[in-house]
Structure 1
Amino acid sequence: MFLRRTITLLILQLFLMVGATAQDSLRVFGLLDSIRGLRDDTAKVNAYLAKSRTVYRYFDKGGRENPFLQEALALSVRLNYPKGRAEAYNDLGTSRRNKSQYILATEYHEKALKAAIESKDQRLIATSYNNVGVDYRRREMLEKAFDNHFEALKIAEKINETRSLTVAINSIGNIYLSDAKYEAAIREFTRALELEQQGNNNLGVAINLGNLGYAYEGLNQLDRAIDYYERSLAVNQQLNNHTGMAICYTCLGTAYQKKGNYAAAMVYLQKALEANEQVEDKVHLAENYISIGRLLNNEGKLPEARKYIQQALDLGHQWTFNYILQEGYNAMADNYKRAGDFAKSFDNTQLSLQYKDSILEERTSTEFAQMKALHEVHRKDNQIKELQQDQEINQLRIRRNLALVIALAGFLFMLIVGGFFYIRHRNLQANRQTLQLELRSLRSQMNPHFIFNSLNSIHRYIWSNNQEEASEYLTKFSKLMRMILDNSQHTFIPLNKELDSLRLYLDLEALRCSHMFDYHIFVDDEINEEEVLIPPMIIQPYVENAIWHGLVHRKEKGRLDIEVTLNGRILEVTVTDNGIGRKLAMEIREKKDKLHNSMGMKVTEGRIALIRKINNTKDANVEITDLHGPEGEATGTKVRIVLPAEFLF
């Protein structure tokens, strides 16, 4: 009856396990099918990668390839998406490393590194270098491990990526620790500890405190090592991390054993035993039994020591821990040797050596299996490349045919558009020529207007001054006329020529007005006066207006400022006077001559309007602003002339 109930319960448990597995399979492959239905793009690759990281345990437990990663990798190759390839290869390599398949892990992680470099993603490059470094460290190839972690360190420092930086520093510390360079290891672990504390990563803090304990123990500074182990233990207790607690208890037991304090060592090893019983990985529990057994051997408590060592051997046989069996039989051999039973000591030594050989054979077999798997990886990569090439050839054929159709349609379209634009361009050219003729006509009006005003000024000057000053005035006037007639032959002239003629004009007006005003011309240092072009006689009418309607009516000496600046492709000329202002000037003008109009300013405004039309721009206008003092009194006028900049080269 009891046997029947037991069999029934076992069958029920089996059905439940099978049912749960079937449900997991349906859920996982349902997720896979849902992603396969998406459009092929980088978002689909990222979806494969994200789901892979949530279900990887399912495939690891079953010992099967992760189809999410395989699909992500194949699609990344088809899309030429190096970042996706790097992420997939990194995850594949980490999966292999977790199974202690370090050769395969290195192969995948080096592929990830190449793809990451191609993607130019600095964070991903640093992560990949760290992964390769860890693989080489596990393979005890410390020089290569150091080189890769150092590259990751440089990149992480450059981009200020804390996670990669911490991993690199911690790994370099472990390399120094493995090479017995304890001082260098302490330096790196201390730096890593500071970074983990700044990032509030308590697990990282616990690990680096423990690493510092290992380094100080290597230097035989046992008190300092014990201090760091205790600090690491306190953090692990806060995290309720049983694995970390067990490791710290074991380290404390070992340190106290080295100090010769066997009682304290036993207390900590027993605590490690309690913590290890709550950890799934039983290899730590087996190692704990061996540590207690060896401590009891040293204390001479040989029968009690055998019990602990035997428990380690039982776990080794149950879970096929060859390393535990080797160490366990070696500890048992030492126990019997101390007891004087040399025959049993010899038998246990032989068993330890057998398992040592078994470990070497297993390692060789594992490496051979990894090499076979590596060959399979290369074969799959070649298949993916061949598939990609076939797809590219088909796409090229489709593109060629499509290009022919598009070229023919494009040719017809270009004929139509070209004809339209040719007709439009011809009309625009005709309009432009008309506008330029109008502009030339207006410019030609400036010459007689200015000459009339200047001759009128000479007439007044001769009647009011002596002959020598009149002769000097005529000499400067003739020079000015020559410059104006020469400049008027061109649509645009260099800025320095326009300013030279303006200075000569201002000198003449200053002479005629008995130096009733001073003037100053400022040109921005960034302007090359010989390369920047300006329409001739565009500033003079506003200067003339400022003198004769503003400055000459002042009782005190006036001032005229002309400023030329360049903002990008906009030339700005500002004419500022401290005259009587437009309102008072208008009143004076109305009293003297109600019919007089400013011919020069009207013509110039017309010229600027035509420039605006020809260049099809709003950046050509004139702004006139009345200036006022703190009590509202008129203090002058400011004229801002804005023109599109033209350049000689």
Structure 2
Amino acid sequence: MSKKGLILIVFLHLAMWMHASAQDSLQVQASLDSIKGMADDTVKVNRLMARSKSLYRYFDKRKEDNAFLQEAINVSHKIRYNKGLAEGYNELGTAKRNKSQYILAADFHERALKYAEDAKDVRLITISLNNIGVDYRRRDMLPKAFDFHFRALKLAEKANDVRNICIATNSIGNIKLSDGKYNDAIQEFSRSLRLEREGKNDLGVAINLGNLGYAYEGLGQLDKAIEYYKSSLAVNQAMDNKTGMSICYTCLGTAYQKKKNYPLAMEYLQKALQANDKVDDKVHVAESYLSIGRLLNEEGKHEEARKYIQGSIDLGLKWGFKSTLMEAYKAMADNYKRAGDFNRSIDNSNLSLLYKDSILDERSTTEFAQMQAMYVVHQKDNQIKQLQQEQDISQLRIRRNLALAIALAGFLFMLIVGGFFYIRHRNLQANRQTLQLELRSLRSQMNPHFIFNSLSSIHRYIWSNNQEEASDYLTKFSKLMRMILDNSQHTFIPLNKELESLRLYLDLEALRCNNIFDYNIHVAENINEEEVLIPPMIIQPYVENSIWHGLVHRKDKGRLDINVSLNGRVLEILVTDNGIGRKLAMEIKAKKDHLHNSMGMKVTEGRIALIRKINNTKDANVVVNDLQDHVGLATGTQVKIVLPAEFLF
């Protein structure tokens, strides 16, 4: 055949291939366009997912993103279909993992987990957890991988999901295997093997048999390991699984090599080489050459070993298998070292190190590229969320306009009826504002009174105690003053702030009175202290009265209890002391020839009366009870403060 004829044939074959490829592209695009024309709903998402799975090889060969899968995710975002998002991101994460992009894979699988949890789909949650576990295992992050697989296992067991139980158990076994915990690994692989046999999953059976072989080999039980490798080989042969057969042959060769049975080891490694010749991925052929070369190195057959190692290097250079080249040059360096040619050994060691550095650089570049891709994806998701928010706002506007139209239609009727109620409401509002102003006025009286009393206490305390204690007292007092000033700006404050200032006040009074009493503040469990609101400084006057008219006159140590409870929409505060009682307190004051007018209590009673008016309720009052024992002797006083409950939300 002439040279021109040969060129013509090559050109025709190329043209036919390009035409077939173009036809495939047109058919795929037409299929995508036809589905895109459907209404956005769950049926459309499911159809897109089905097509994405059937065409994943087509997109892999072209090294393109799966357009059907991406469209399924986009539509799921639009209709807020959490199940579709979980399935889509799981598929996308697995596709990235198959390309060794483990960082991106974990990010997508974690998104899938979030949407699966939002969908409350236990099966999808379990699948997502297992996928994340595999991603972390591939990155040698074993503790994190174990946590995710363990969570998946517990969920799968609860749901009796055998498929995911097998996946989780096998993965946990592999983690134990990588961690050198071979007995634990055997236990996990044995359980997985039993379930795979019960489910008649031959591939799963073959994988677990091989894994058991790895575990026993790790324990040094080579005969048992060989037995499991052979069992796995038999299952792979029955399935005609060339990749599985190659792995088993290689494992058997390695095991016999460890047993120093070099002829049998060579026989199985040669079988692995023959099996790999039938596999498209030439990396397995290169690895088989390398394994044979290492065996021959160990046998001392240096010249023959060099040929096989060189074959591995040639394939690595042709196809760009950097990991294989790193190991092959390392094996060649060992070969020359054994042969006594140290210069060539050093040269090959340097080449091995160059490829090791190249792999590390490539890994860093790949990880950086994945991080950039994650950033782009997150930006895109934020854009989608922003568009959804804009759609929500648009819908709200439509609803608002509709409501406005309805309101305008009934305007005349509401004008007549509402006029009366408006005038009445305005009068009530004016009264309420007047009462609010009175309440603020009383509150402003309360605070100066308390500050005056506290300053008097500090004055006496400084003159009767040392400087260090006085400084501590002043520090606490300044903190209390700051809280009072902050709280006094509001009509109502959260209960926790009121109790915080009350505790600080009680600490100061306890210091001032040489700790002659203990106190306890108890809040019922059904009260959220940050949400329940209370007028500021409403409890303090009654606490002050209990201390200075009841507890300070006791001979032994007194006790003050403050209990806060919530009954429906009524807040009850009990201030209970075991002081001398009101009757005896009045007698003591009479003997001292003066009666103290409790400005704080009067102001507080006025505040509570105004609260009762503002809320138009009877649930706002103060009741004081004298406590007595069985013979009628005074045992203290109890003040019950009842307020209508106010809430932050």
Verify same fold: TM over 0.5: yes
Structure 1: state its 5+ residue gaps: 413-649
Aligned to 1:369: 369
**2:112 counterpart letter in structure 1:** A
RMSD: 1.7
**2:379 counterpart letter in structure 1:** R
Q: Distance in 1 between matches of 2:261 and 2:138?
A: 33
Q: In the TM superposition, what whole-angstrom CA distance separates every residue of 1:245-270 from its partner, at most 9, and x where no partner exists?
A: 00000000000000010011000001
Q: TM-score, length-normalised on structure 2?
A: 0.62
**1:118 counterpart letter in structure 2:** D
Task: Check 1:406–1:5 CA distance in 2 against 1; reply closer, same or farther (3 A cut).
Answer: farther
1:63 shift after superposition: 2.1
Aligned to 1:231: 231
Q: In the TM superposition, what whole-angstrom CA distance separates every residue of 1:216-250 from its partner, at most 9, and x where no partner exists?
A: 00000000000000000000000000000000000
1:42 shift after superposition: 1.1
Aligned to 2:346: 346
Bigger drift between 72-81 and 163-172 goes to 72-81
Aligned to 1:50: 50
Q: Distance in 1 between matches of 2:65 and 2:308?
A: 39
Q: Distance in 2 between matches of 1:190 and 1:251?
A: 19
**2:147 counterpart letter in structure 1:** D
Bigger drift between 233-242 and 385-394 goes to 385-394
State yes or no: 1:148 paired with 2:174: no
Superposition pairs of residues 261-272 of structure 1, within 5 angstroms: 261-272=261-272
**1:254 counterpart letter in structure 2:** T
Superposition pairs of residues 329-344 of structure 1, within 5 angstroms: 329-344=329-344
Q: Distance in 2 between matches of 1:249 and 1:407?
A: 82
Task: Check 1:112–1:409 CA distance in 2 against 1; reply closer, same or farther (3 A cut).
Answer: farther
1:402 shift after superposition: 4.0
State yes or no: 1:273 paired with 2:273: yes
1:183 shift after superposition: 0.4
Aligned to 2:397: 397
Task: Check 1:389–1:300 CA distance in 2 against 1; reply closer, same or farther (3 A cut).
Answer: same
Q: Distance in 2 between matches of 1:399 and 1:64?
A: 43
Identity %: 66
1:5 shift after superposition: 2.6
Aligned to 1:97: 97
Aligned to 1:191: 191
State yes or no: 1:177 paired with 2:177: yes
Q: Distance in 2 between matches of 1:411 and 1:64?
A: 61
Q: Distance in 2 between matches of 1:3 and 1:340?
A: 50
Q: TM-score, length-normalised on structure 1?
A: 0.62
Task: Check 1:231–1:395 CA distance in 2 against 1; reply closer, same or farther (3 A cut).
Answer: same
Superposition pairs of residues 352-501 of structure 1, within 5 angstroms: 352-403=352-403
Q: In the TM superposition, what whole-angstrom CA distance separates every residue of 1:82-140 from its partner, at most 9, and x where no partner exists?
A: 11111111111011000000000010000000000000000000000000000000011
1:13 shift after superposition: 2.2
1:38 shift after superposition: 1.0
Q: In the TM superposition, what whole-angstrom CA distance separates every residue of 1:565-618 from its partner, at most 9, and x where no partner exists?
A: xxxxxxxxxxxxxxxxxxxxxxxxxxxxxxxxxxxxxxxxxxxxxxxxxxxxxx
Which one has a bigger Cα radius of gyration?
Answer: 1
Q: Distance in 1 between matches of 2:185 and 2:353?
A: 33
Q: May I ask how many residue pairs the two structures share in their alignment?
A: 412
1:24 shift after superposition: 1.3
Q: In the TM superposition, what whole-angstrom CA distance separates every residue of 1:315-368 from its partner, at most 9, and x where no partner exists?
A: 101110000111111111111112221111111111111111111111111111
Aligned to 1:288: 288
Structure 2: state its 5+ residue gaps: 413-649
Bigger drift between 276-285 and 141-150 goes to 276-285
Partner SS for 2:157 = helix
Partner SS for 2:55 = helix
State yes or no: 1:316 paired with 2:301: no
1:400 shift after superposition: 3.0
1:407 shift after superposition: 8.0
**1:324 counterpart letter in structure 2:** T
Task: Check 1:55–1:150 CA distance in 2 against 1; reply closer, same or farther (3 A cut).
Answer: same
State yes or no: 1:246 paired with 2:246: yes
Aligned to 2:82: 82
Bigger drift between 166-175 and 399-408 goes to 399-408
Aligned to 1:59: 59
State yes or no: 1:131 paired with 2:131: yes
Q: Distance in 2 between matches of 1:404 and 1:313?
A: 78
Bigger drift between 187-196 and 376-385 goes to 376-385
1:51 shift after superposition: 0.9
Task: Check 1:226–1:390 CA distance in 2 against 1; reply closer, same or farther (3 A cut).
Answer: same
